[in-house]
Amino acid sequence: MEQPNWKKLFVESNIPEKLTPLKEISRNLWWVWNTEARELFQYIDAEIWEECEHNPIVLLDEVNYQRFLELEKDEEFLFKMNHVSSLLHKYLDDRKVLKGPSVAYFSMEYGLHDSLKIFSGGLGILAGDYLKEASDSKVDLVGVGLLYRYGYFRQNISITGEQLSNYDAQQFSKIPVQPAYDADGNWIHVQVQYPGREISAQVWQVSIGSIKLFLLDADFEANSDEDRFVTHHLYGGDNENRLKQEMLLGLGGIRALKKLGYSMDIYHCNEGHAAMIGLERMADFVSEKGLTYPEAKEVVRVSTLFTTHTPVPAGHDSFYQDMFKHYMHEYPGKVGISWDEFCNLGKANPFEDHFNMSYLACNLSQGINGVSMLHGEVSKEVLSPLYEGFLPEELEVGYVTNGVHYATWAAKEWKEMHLKYFGRSFPENQLDFDLWEKIYKVPDEEIWNLKQSMRLKTIGYIKQRFTNTWIKRHENPKMISEVLGKLNPYALTIGFARRFATYKRAHLLFRNLDRLSKLVNDPARPVQFIFAGKAHPADKAGQDLIKYIVEISKRPEFIGKILFVQNYDMNLAKMMLQGVDIWMNTPTRPLEASGTSGEKGVMNGTIHFSVLDGWWVEGYKKDAGWALPQDNAYEINDLQDELDAETIYNIFEEEILPAFYDRNINGIPEKWVSYIKNTFAQVSPNFTTARMIRDYQDRFYKPQAERSARLIDKDYNLAKEIAKWKSGVSAVWDQIEVKNVQITDGITNVLKIGEVYPARVVVDIKGLKPEDLSVEMVITENGKDTRPTLIECLPFTVEKAEGQLITYKLDLNLMNAGAFGYAIRILPNHPELPHRQDFHHMKWVQ
């Protein structure tokens, strides 16, 4: 019998002429933070909009043609669509001319929307928020990253609580990426040298308002299977694959920008992954501008900023040097240095056997910053091995506290209320903190009703999401209905969601299950906790913790009181942060560099309850949240956990429950509402990306760009001068000799306050100028750790010069009594150095 002969038929979706603006709107991620645009897509087909997880490109593909024909005749829809389209055009037109230093921003991940799976967690979402803000704040910025075929995993939890990780391939035609073309209309490709071959990457472009993000993708025919794999997974594969990715991002990223015609004032390296941008730029300056390696290094350093996010030394990427050499051996030749000199750029001392990307980033950046005030301090300690001789507190490691993109994370209901009370211009004026104070004018009832309605919405969403997954997983139907029945939209609801790294201490709440059970099961004052989060596939301890929480949540006393919702993504984060009453965060101090989810909460009147770590050190205000003390009382983690857990239960029982459940005659918890108002007025304004980007401009971009302009002016004149001066000093540094020291010794001869004791150091400067050196006395005190801490640094001045013998003098005149330590050191000195660690030589006078 004859068989049917199936032939292929391709039908492309076709949007009627009148509706073409939809294409443009769907392909600029501006829609993500614009309520009208989101509502427009929802209007097209609310059901598909949910099914496709808010991906407008998929939505437009899947809506049937009949529906388009209806919309074409729907006046209300056409009006809305044209309105949104004109908003987008006006927004883009307002950003045609941009001011301030131009910035190239490099990051391994970007969290812009769930539909573009190129992020895993906090670091990526921060970078995504930053691009959105750069657009809103009219910053001249372009982003560079990698396009992953599979991205990060989707989390499923098995019936026994195991985490299963699923990787879905992204179809690039269904996500908002488009090929990036050069001026002649050719798709841009870049190549990077790997051992014995080249890898090629095609460059894609994403539009985020006025900002362009360029993504490199190696998964196409030009490469072998092995090389195509390089951009498959974010944080997947082995250490060698990570090196390949980082070469692509750093070296390839700069090549892509060059082909695209971008030359920026500042290169911002978001975490050490992209540190190779400095290498590629140095090689360019050498080959294209004829600079020497030291000159190129000056020019690259002044224009590079490195942001570190990792408070533990082990968290910094590093590569075993033999493997590193296998990949990078050609590089030193490009800039004319030896392998050893090159390799030392990634080491704190030559005997280390790993090349550390954070060290490389530090060595090639003038600006270095941590991501909260506390983390800035911690980073000084972490990076101090690089700057031997300096006390950590002397280091020029600044900070910019992370923020969140208000328009992305605040619920549209809050945004509407803010517009009403703070004024129509509020979105552009988030930095006017007085506007936020107007929250005190809003009637209590209005705030409370809004918060109640948000909780209701979120519990509804969670029930739905939860039911879907529990049915798929064949859970006992009785259990499902019990959970759903017990979830209470009026109960005090606490959210806890983040990466399940063990330092985040999700287990803390469960230290005393009896007490926890009493807390959640008081019929007069019910409490429920919602958990979510992924553990890295290689992190067994994190996965065990998830399993443990899933098990607890199925015990009779915790059913519907403790809930674990799977696959934490941006949408779930948003729903949770908007709908819960309290956001909890209990990291081990000081391991939370900043943390951002609590900041998303405070944009929604969600009150924060956390250990004083990361951003909360700066954010916490009395009567605007709750805090666990900053200092560890115990050195043993287990005891500290015990104490923290007890403190948490106490705060719930004594402060939180009364504030939430004491209602006035109108049923309003006045105290609670006052906490919400205080949060909006005193906490939220400081943690927007608008504030964050301003800080980056003021503390780093502008000063660095200004100095950079001076260095490169007149054919790199000043850069050459500084490089020459440095070479001269380095050449004789080891020969500089201290000939004589005179100082009153405070042990044999106790110093009196207010009296002047002259100190003198005679140095043979070996052909340098007297002012090329600074001699200084460092006064320290023994701090609570064993190491000395800095009190002050007293400079010597030149007293007299006899040939090469220079006498430096200091009139020591101490004004405080006590026991101090002192030591005298000599450093290079030049008025054009941005800071002293910029040129790291030091000699201690014995």
Contact residues toward ligand PLP (CB under 6 A) are: 121-122, 125, 498-499, 568-570, 573, 595-597, 600
Closest approach of Cβ 641 to ligand PLP, in Å? Answer: 19
By beta-carbon proximity to ligand PLP, the closer residue of 575 and 814 is: 575
By beta-carbon proximity to ligand PLP, the closer residue of 54 and 498 is: 498
Q: Do 383 and 362 contact (CB within 8 A), yes or no?
A: yes
Closest approach of Cβ 415 to ligand PLP, in Å? Answer: 18
Distance of CA 51 to the CA centre of its chain: 30
Indicate the burial class of 460 (C-beta count within 10 angstroms; 0-12, 13-18, 19 or more). Answer: middle
How far is the C-alpha of 161 from the C-alpha of 324, rounded, in Å? Answer: 39
Closest approach of Cβ 687 to ligand PLP, in Å? Answer: 12
Q: Where are the beta strands (DSSP E) in 373-415?
A: 398-399
Strands 197-208 and 178-179: antiparallel
Distance of CA 185 to the CA centre of its chain: 35
By beta-carbon proximity to ligand PLP, the closer residue of 214 and 687 is: 687
Indicate the residue type of 540: K
By beta-carbon proximity to ligand PLP, the closer residue of 122 and 346 is: 122
Closest-CA residue to 676 (of 420, 439, 496, 429): 439
By beta-carbon proximity to ligand PLP, the closer residue of 123 and 779 is: 123
By beta-carbon proximity to ligand PLP, the closer residue of 415 and 534 is: 534
Which residues is 801 bridged to in the sheet? Answer: 806
Helix, strand or coil, per DSSP, at residue 486: helix
Closest-CA residue to 310 (of 320, 300, 318, 299): 318
Angle, CA 173 vertex, CA 167 and CA 175 arms, to 5°: 65
Q: Do 702 and 100 contact (CB within 8 A), yes or no?
A: yes
Closest approach of Cβ 496 to ligand PLP, in Å? Answer: 10
By beta-carbon proximity to ligand PLP, the closer residue of 325 and 465 is: 465
How far is the C-alpha of 594 from the C-alpha of 310, rounded, in Å? Answer: 10
Question: Tokens standing for 276?
Answer: 């190779």
Closest approach of Cβ 585 to ligand PLP, in Å? Answer: 7
Closest approach of Cβ 610 to ligand PLP, in Å? Answer: 10
By beta-carbon proximity to ligand PLP, the closer residue of 569 and 776 is: 569
Cβ-Cβ contacts under 8 Å for 640 (sequence gap 6 or more): 588, 632, 633, 634
How far is the C-alpha of 262 from the C-alpha of 258, rounded, in Å? Answer: 6
Distances from the Cα of 175 to the Cα of 25, 117, 519, angstroms: 13, 9, 45
By beta-carbon proximity to ligand PLP, the closer residue of 204 and 496 is: 496
By beta-carbon proximity to ligand PLP, the closer residue of 332 and 403 is: 403
- 459 backbone φψ class: left, alpha, beta (φ>0; ψ -120 to 50): alpha
Cβ-Cβ contacts under 8 Å for 196 (sequence gap 6 or more): none
By beta-carbon proximity to ligand PLP, the closer residue of 121 and 294 is: 121
Alpha helices in 662-776 (DSSP H): 670-678, 689-696, 702-733
Question: Tokens standing for 370?
Answer: 């941590």
**556 DSSP 8-state letter:** G
Closest approach of Cβ 695 to ligand PLP, in Å? Answer: 18
Closest approach of Cβ 234 to ligand PLP, in Å? Answer: 13
Buried b / exposed e over 716-740, threshold 16 CB at 10 Å, is: bebbbebbebbeebeeebeebebee
Q: Do 140 and 102 contact (CB within 8 A), yes or no?
A: yes
Closest approach of Cβ 363 to ligand PLP, in Å? Answer: 28
Closest approach of Cβ 568 to ligand PLP, in Å? Answer: 5
Q: Do 311 and 375 contact (CB within 8 A), yes or no?
A: yes
Closest-CA residue to 458 (of 497, 419, 502, 422): 497
Closest approach of Cβ 597 to ligand PLP, in Å? Answer: 3
Closest approach of Cβ 352 to ligand PLP, in Å? Answer: 31
By beta-carbon proximity to ligand PLP, the closer residue of 356 and 586 is: 586
Indicate the residue type of 189: H
By beta-carbon proximity to ligand PLP, the closer residue of 397 and 573 is: 573
Closest approach of Cβ 122 to ligand PLP, in Å? Answer: 3
Over its C-alpha atoms, the chain yields an Rg (Å, rounded) of: 30
Closest approach of Cβ 805 to ligand PLP, in Å? Answer: 58
- 614 backbone φψ class: left, alpha, beta (φ>0; ψ -120 to 50): left
By beta-carbon proximity to ligand PLP, the closer residue of 302 and 535 is: 535
